[in-house]
Amino acid sequence: MASVEAVADVRYADAAGLAAALAEADALFVWDFLSRAVEPAFAAAGRLRWMHIASTGVDNVLFDAMRDSDVVLTNSSGVFDSSIAEYVLGCVLAFAKDFRTTLQAQAEKRWYHRETERIAGKRAVVVGTGPIGRAIARLLAAAGLEVSGAGRTARADDPDFGVVHDVSGTPWGRFDYVVAVAPLTDSTAGMFNAATFAAMKPTARFINVGRGGLVVTDDLISALRNGIVAGAALDVFETEPLPPDNPLWDMSNVLVSPHMSGDFIGWLPALAELFVDNFHKWQAGRPLRNVVDKHLGYVPSGARMG
């Protein structure tokens, strides 16, 4: 931040002091992307022109007043693409090669020989066709999976997915792996529910690296308990941290991670560097990177780089 501090009056604030800091602020960098402190403080932002958030998801700062304002919103798209894709591939391999049982047997010093699954030729659908979804699609395809996409608009000639299904018409029963990476919007909230899980293969594995609110958690728990789907790898949840009494913790067919799929060594400096680069663009009146369409809730294709 040194280059920003050299040319701007930078004030650092926690949630309690945010309203006071916003009173004279032209720009806001939301570093704590899990915080919901911006909405109650937003009325104090009399001259705010630009807000940047240190995450790809923007649902925590897209409240009505922000959406309806003239404040430009940018996000940190691009920082996490490769690391989240690697996490998803790791989950696919963990399920197929049954690493959980291997680790348990090792802890017990038990020689437990068995057969495991191949991933080559398996089918995966990636729900969310933005940059992270595309990185996932490319890596899974390189590992031998047949990958399709699901998004707002169906098409048959996508360069990364080949076929992209309209979400409402996605043939869930075709896929061995269903990967959720869609942004959380009014149209995607709760999209993975009892009906969606019932339409999947009983051998399917569900992987969520998008937002917890995409999933009706009780419906997923029921589907896992009753063999409607075979397993789940979950990095995001409706309530975070995941409460200790949540049944997902104790399910042998579930992998739980604490919202860390994109957090590689060096991710925090990378987030700060992206903001600093955007700040200097903003100061010079140049196009910003990652301008969010506040009504769609994400960065449209082609708007990622300014």
- Name the one residue in this structure whose structure tokens are 């790791």: 90
Backbone angles phi, psi at 126, to 5 degrees: -105, 115
Smallest CA-to-CA distance from 44 within 62, 68, 28 is with: 28
Give me the active site residues, please: 211, 240, 259
Alpha-carbon distance of 68 to 52, in angstroms, equals 16
Q: Pick from 118, 124, 115: which is nearest to 147 by CA?
A: 124
158 phi and psi, to 5 degrees?
-70, 140
Instruction: Enter the tokens of residue 217.
Output: 């958690």
Whether 135 contacts 86, CB under 8 Å:
no
**Residues, the chain:** 306
